[in-house]
Chains A and B, each alone.
Chain A
Amino acid sequence: MSAMETTPYALPDSDAEHEQLQKTWGPRRGPFSWFSQIDHRTIGRRFIVTAFVWFGLGGLLAALMRIQLAKPNNTFLSADQYNQIFTMHGTTMMFLFAVPVMEAVAIYIIPLMLGTRGLAFPRATAYAYYMFLFGGTMLYVAFFLNMAPDAGWFNYVPLSAPQFSPGKRIDIWAQLVNFTEISALTVAVEIIVTIFKQRAPGMSINRMPLYVWSMLVTAFMIVFAMPAVMVASNYIGLDRLVGTHFFNKAEGGDVLLWQHLFWFFGHPEVYIIFIPALGMVSTIITVFCRRKIFGYTAMVLSLVATAFIGFGLWVHHMFATGLPQSGQSYFTAASMMIAVPSGVQIFCWIATIAMGKPEFRPPLMFVLGFVAIFVLGGLTGVMLAAVPLNLQLHDTFFVVAHLHYVLIGGAVFPLLGALFFWFPKMTGRLMNERWGHISFWLTFAGFNVTFFPQHKLGLVGMPRRIYTYLPETGWGPLNLLSTIGAGILALGVLCFVVNALYSMKRGAIAGSNPWHAPTLEWATTSPPPHYNFLHLPTVSSTEPLWDHPENAPVVTGLALKKREVLITRLFDAEPDHLYLYPGTTPWAFLSAVATGGMFVALLFTPWALPIGVAIATTTLLCWFWPSSPRDEGEAPEQP
């Protein structure tokens, strides 16, 4: 195999270099090598697949809920089962699917888009992946042992306090939060550092693709939002395990403290899901309208503004708790103001489409579906932000409708489009377009049939999280419609998944840049070699591949026998110095086993903390101790 025939970014006669780099950056081989891989493409792929497995399970749970709600007085699920299932569904979708999948795609794509050889701190990527995997596994093992959390995805106290929820169910939830947040924070740090310091020469801050911007903003939001929920989940863990009184009003604790902490995280969380999707939308529109995005600066400022305002909205989830009026008006105003940056982006995309030449291929279809659904969901969000309306709509199916409009319409649709779009880069093969269209129309129709009626259900009084209802309420027909829609939606998802699985083996060969896309991930072969780029590209605009359909400018002089990466300067991305990445290691995996084991043991005894910390520290020392040339970035010894 030769790396250079199809890209304009390779110097002639570099077969030998390719061979050597392949050895230097290649995976470890051997019996347990699966656990030692650390490179961002391998881990990114695993991350995406794992997130989709959780999505499939979360979706199947949703199907169970929809069956139960299809008719009044249904007995398909018991109250206890239903409560576990909706909690599992929300927890899975938010903590194990939506946030991780966005990070997973970034793990794969960001280094390629930046034109570098990997993600900063590659071993940490592996660690983050295993923490994510173990957390999800713990949750589902608990579920099958009938020990799943059952207090909703925001786990309000005092319902989740020891007095009202004995047993281990809530502790599982609290530990799951620790698993996923550690994973998310690790990845966020890597993304920030990679974007700041490893951009291709010439990719100054004002030439970063919008997807890179969106991930940068997201990573910062993660850094400032996730600590709040970790602190909160540790409070509840302590209340349950060692008898602290954070939420026990008899001893001076306070139940609203939980709500403040949770939503201080929870609201930014929804934008953490949504903002990467915005980057995907911009990417897809650029490519399939054959035009650079209109209003780049406005787009960037909108992303940043969304992030900032996003930290000042959390109380709009708590209007019904009866906080003082004046404060509530502030949060209404802020919630409405956040519609402005969203609107600006919608307008800029429409302008881009108007000035470009749209090609109606599946990724663009998903994006167009996104616009229709998300704008509606955003508008229901504005309704919810008005206190008087909120007091009627809060905790009803209207909210359920809103959250699925923005989460599925606003994030899952762009995600599916982006996966269709990046699939050839990841696998070397194209997905089938006809089935792409079919899965789009099925999901689009199914989605609206499922969730549009839920607006009305909320207005006519159906609270959320009820496992059954009486025939006299009149909610039966619309619920049945919603259930039918969920069936269509599931079929659409299934088509997409099958299309992907089939195309992985049988799809048309893609070539390095099948969509004639302008960003650097398309400047290398599909799938990319272990070292990503034979010669690092340099750029002089936001659309480098459109500037240089051939004879593209590249960097030379990076070591061949060491895992050397180029570090560039923060703003102008001029080459600054060189840095050696460590090589493959089993210790990232073993550290995750140690920390994960500690979290699980903490379900049972506080003594797990000192013991677990000792073991985890040992594994971490082994991880960082340079005991072989591999740890210092040298190529592994040749056999």
Chain B
Amino acid sequence: MTFVTFFAGSGIQSALEPAGAHAARIGRLWDVFLIISAVVWLLVMIALFIALARRKREETPDGAARARTTVSIATAITLVTLAALLVASVLTGRAIADHAPPGTIQLKVTGKQWWWQVEYDDPDKSKRFTDANEIHIPVGVPVNIQLHSSDVIHSFWIPNLNGKQDLIPGHDGSIQLQATRPGIYRGQCAEFCGLQHAKMALWVHAMTQSDYANWLTAARQPSKIPSTPEQRKGEEVFMSSPCPLCHTIQGTDAGGKTGPDLTHFAGRRSIAAGTWPNRRGYLAGWIVDPQHIKPGSQMPPMLLDEGQLQPLLAYLESLQ
């Protein structure tokens, strides 16, 4: 069955390797559909080959009657099969429907051209915080995500965890994730949203509950005070450049809202919504000319000389 192995999954952005409760159920439904469809297709092909290869007899009224019966039976089987598929689909649909039990974690994700803003809600206002392009969730706990868009339609999709849901301006939606095993999963905006739709990815870190608790405590803190002279120089460069107009760094005066929150930027896997790994060379390239790697991005190129750039990078890398 090369067919089935062809469809065996692999990867961190794959619907075929479920790591979440919802994706697992959808995966089972997929198996049902795949097998039934393969059988139906093969049967039709076999019938076609028999019809083509048959040694023709003279046409008899009997033959026509037999054909009528065969076609009717095939139609009846089609109806039954479809009904079965429909039931399977509706049952799975019910099972994965959002029903956030109270006390689950509430997140708010806002799609922007072309990055993701993630807000962690908490009844205690002081415990709320904002992050970008990465989501951290504990394993085994349903997480409820409110979906918003501040510009055009985007679509939130972490294939290993669940299907997708559009982020539509004026129509708030939501989706639930419930990871079943720790890991890092990738997702990518699925609705065409303009020039850089291709470069609008995000990461989901599914962590054990204790890891998650630790992460949460750290994430609620403002960023570390720069410790080396170079970092302090970098902070100055940051604050005196246009950066604070668009970026927030908790614990500093930088409070811009146009761009991603950079409070814990150093902890991120990637920059510019999954476009590049978060390493110094790439970061330098990004800051000097975001338009080169992500043309059309809302961040303008920055005129910085070498003496400013290196400290700035050091500073950004210290934002734990």
In the bound complex, do residue B152 and residue A354 qualify as a contact, i.e. CB atoms below 8 Å apart? no
Partner of B86, one of A79, A151, A332: A332
In the bound complex, do residue A396 and residue B190 qualify as a contact, i.e. CB atoms below 8 Å apart? yes
Chain A residues whose C-beta falls within 8 Å of the C-beta of B189 in the assembled complex: 463
Asked whether any CB of chain A lies closer than 8 Å to the CB of B242, the reply is: no
In the bound complex, do residue B198 and residue A469 qualify as a contact, i.e. CB atoms below 8 Å apart? yes
In the bound complex, do residue B11 and residue A473 qualify as a contact, i.e. CB atoms below 8 Å apart? yes
In the bound complex, do residue B71 and residue A463 qualify as a contact, i.e. CB atoms below 8 Å apart? no
Partner of A386, one of B14, B44, B51, B85: B85
A510 to chain B, nearest CB (A): 26
Chain A residues whose C-beta falls within 8 Å of the C-beta of B215 in the assembled complex: none
| 99-158 of chain B: CB within 8 A of chain A | 113, 151-153, 155, 157
In the bound complex, do residue A460 and residue B71 qualify as a contact, i.e. CB atoms below 8 Å apart? no
How far does the alpha carbon of A347 sit from the alpha carbon of B73 in the complex, in Å? 10
Asked whether any CB of chain A lies closer than 8 Å to the CB of B225, the reply is: no
A28 to chain B, nearest CB (A): 48
Chain B residues whose C-beta falls within 8 Å of the C-beta of A392 in the assembled complex: 15, 23, 26, 30, 159, 163-164
Asked whether any CB of chain A lies closer than 8 Å to the CB of B47, the reply is: yes
Asked whether any CB of chain B lies closer than 8 Å to the CB of A355, the reply is: yes
Chain B residues whose C-beta falls within 8 Å of the C-beta of A322 in the assembled complex: 165-166, 168, 171, 173-174
Assess A388 versus B93: contact at CB under 8 Å? Given A344-B75, A382-B82, A460-B16.
yes
Chain B 290-301 interface mask (CB, 8 Å, partner A; 1/0)? 000001100000
In the bound complex, do residue B86 and residue A333 qualify as a contact, i.e. CB atoms below 8 Å apart? yes
In the bound complex, do residue B64 and residue A355 qualify as a contact, i.e. CB atoms below 8 Å apart? yes
Partner of A321, one of B7, B71, B82, B168: B168
Chain A 235-271 interface mask (CB, 8 Å, partner B; 1/0)? 0000000000000010000111000000000000000
From A17-25, A187-195, A367-375, A513-521, the one touching the partner chain is A367-375
From B52-60, B248-256, B280-288, the one touching the partner chain is B52-60
How far does the alpha carbon of A80 sit from the alpha carbon of B6 in the complex, in Å? 34
How far does the alpha carbon of A542 sit from the alpha carbon of B9 in the complex, in Å? 52
In the bound complex, do residue A79 and residue B188 qualify as a contact, i.e. CB atoms below 8 Å apart? no
Partner of A294, one of B67, B78, B89: B67
In the bound complex, do residue B41 and residue A386 qualify as a contact, i.e. CB atoms below 8 Å apart? no
Assess A394 versus B164: contact at CB under 8 Å? Given A249-B170, A354-B54, A376-B41.
yes
Chain A 352-384 interface mask (CB, 8 Å, partner B; 1/0)? 011111100000000010011001100110110
| 166-215 of chain B: CB within 8 A of chain A | 166, 168-171, 173-174, 186, 188-199
Partner of B89, one of A151, A340, A388, A396: A388
Most chain-A Cβ atoms within 10 A of its Cβ — which of B7, B63, B74, B163? Answer: B163
Chain B residues whose C-beta falls within 8 Å of the C-beta of A459 in the assembled complex: 7, 9, 14-16
How far does the alpha carbon of A332 sit from the alpha carbon of B91 in the complex, in Å? 12
B99 to chain A, nearest CB (A): 11
Asked whether any CB of chain A lies closer than 8 Å to the CB of B228, the reply is: no
In the bound complex, do residue A394 and residue B15 qualify as a contact, i.e. CB atoms below 8 Å apart? no
Residues of A in contact (CB 8 Å), total 79
In the bound complex, do residue B51 and residue A164 qualify as a contact, i.e. CB atoms below 8 Å apart? no
Chain A residues whose C-beta falls within 8 Å of the C-beta of B48 in the assembled complex: 350, 353, 368, 371-372
How far does the alpha carbon of A456 sit from the alpha carbon of B67 in the complex, in Å? 37
Chain A 384-405 interface mask (CB, 8 Å, partner B; 1/0)? 0111111111111000000000
Chain B residues whose C-beta falls within 8 Å of the C-beta of A344 in the assembled complex: 71, 75
Asked whether any CB of chain A lies closer than 8 Å to the CB of B25, the reply is: yes
Chain B residues whose C-beta falls within 8 Å of the C-beta of A83 in the assembled complex: 194-195, 197
Asked whether any CB of chain B lies closer than 8 Å to the CB of A2, the reply is: no
Asked whether any CB of chain A lies closer than 8 Å to the CB of B10, the reply is: yes
Q: Which residue from chain A places its CB closest to the CB of B97 in the assembled complex?
A: A325
Chain B residues whose C-beta falls within 8 Å of the C-beta of A357 in the assembled complex: 56
| 270-317 of chain A: CB within 8 A of chain B | 291, 294-295, 298
Partner of A159, one of B10, B13, B44, B193: B193
Asked whether any CB of chain B lies closer than 8 Å to the CB of A444, the reply is: no
A392 to chain B, nearest CB (A): 4
Asked whether any CB of chain B lies closer than 8 Å to the CB of A223, the reply is: no
Chain A residues whose C-beta falls within 8 Å of the C-beta of B199 in the assembled complex: 468
In the bound complex, do residue A386 and residue B71 qualify as a contact, i.e. CB atoms below 8 Å apart? no
Chain B residues whose C-beta falls within 8 Å of the C-beta of A368 in the assembled complex: 48, 52
Q: How many A-B residue pairs have CB under 8 A?
A: 235
In the bound complex, do residue B70 and residue A151 qualify as a contact, i.e. CB atoms below 8 Å apart? no
Partner of A320, one of B11, B26, B166: B166
How far does the alpha carbon of A421 sit from the alpha carbon of B165 in the complex, in Å? 46
Partner of B295, one of A78, A348, A463: A78
In the bound complex, do residue A355 and residue B153 qualify as a contact, i.e. CB atoms below 8 Å apart? no
Asked whether any CB of chain B lies closer than 8 Å to the CB of A329, the reply is: yes
Asked whether any CB of chain B lies closer than 8 Å to the CB of A339, the reply is: yes
In the bound complex, do residue B295 and residue A256 qualify as a contact, i.e. CB atoms below 8 Å apart? no
Q: Which residue from chain B places its CB closest to the CB of A376 in the assembled complex?
A: B41
How far does the alpha carbon of A158 sit from the alpha carbon of B159 in the complex, in Å? 26
Asked whether any CB of chain A lies closer than 8 Å to the CB of B218, the reply is: no
B223 to chain A, nearest CB (A): 28
How far does the alpha carbon of A602 sit from the alpha carbon of B78 in the complex, in Å? 50
Assess A460 versus B63: contact at CB under 8 Å? Given A79-B196, A158-B151, A386-B29.
no
In the bound complex, do residue B26 and residue A389 qualify as a contact, i.e. CB atoms below 8 Å apart? yes
How far does the alpha carbon of A383 sit from the alpha carbon of B37 in the complex, in Å? 9
| 55-114 of chain A: CB within 8 A of chain B | 78-80, 83
In the bound complex, do residue A463 and residue B190 qualify as a contact, i.e. CB atoms below 8 Å apart? yes
Chain A 453-466 interface mask (CB, 8 Å, partner B; 1/0)? 00110011101111
Partner of A347, one of B75, B86, B93, B191: B75
Partner of A158, one of B23, B59, B153: B153
Partner of A391, one of B41, B163, B197: B163
Chain A residues whose C-beta falls within 8 Å of the C-beta of B33 in the assembled complex: 382-383, 386, 389
| 480-532 of chain A: CB within 8 A of chain B | none
B144 to chain A, nearest CB (A): 14
Chain B residues whose C-beta falls within 8 Å of the C-beta of A325 in the assembled complex: 93-94, 97
| 1-39 of chain B: CB within 8 A of chain A | 6-7, 9-11, 13-16, 23, 25-26, 29-30, 33-34, 37
Closest 6 CB pairs of A and B: A391-B163, A461-B13, A466-B198, A354-B51, A386-B89, A249-B170
24 A-B pairs with CB atoms under 8 Å apart are: A80-B195, A158-B152, A255-B168, A255-B169, A255-B171, A291-B59, A298-B71, A321-B166, A332-B89, A347-B74, A351-B71, A354-B50, A354-B51, A355-B67, A368-B48, A371-B48, A386-B85, A386-B86, A388-B96, A389-B30, A392-B23, A460-B16, A461-B13, A465-B197
User: A391-B165, A395-B164 are known contacts; what are 13 more A-B pairs with Cβ within 8 Å?
Assistant: A79-B196, A295-B71, A322-B165, A325-B94, A347-B75, A353-B51, A375-B45, A383-B34, A387-B93, A392-B23, A460-B14, A460-B15, A465-B198
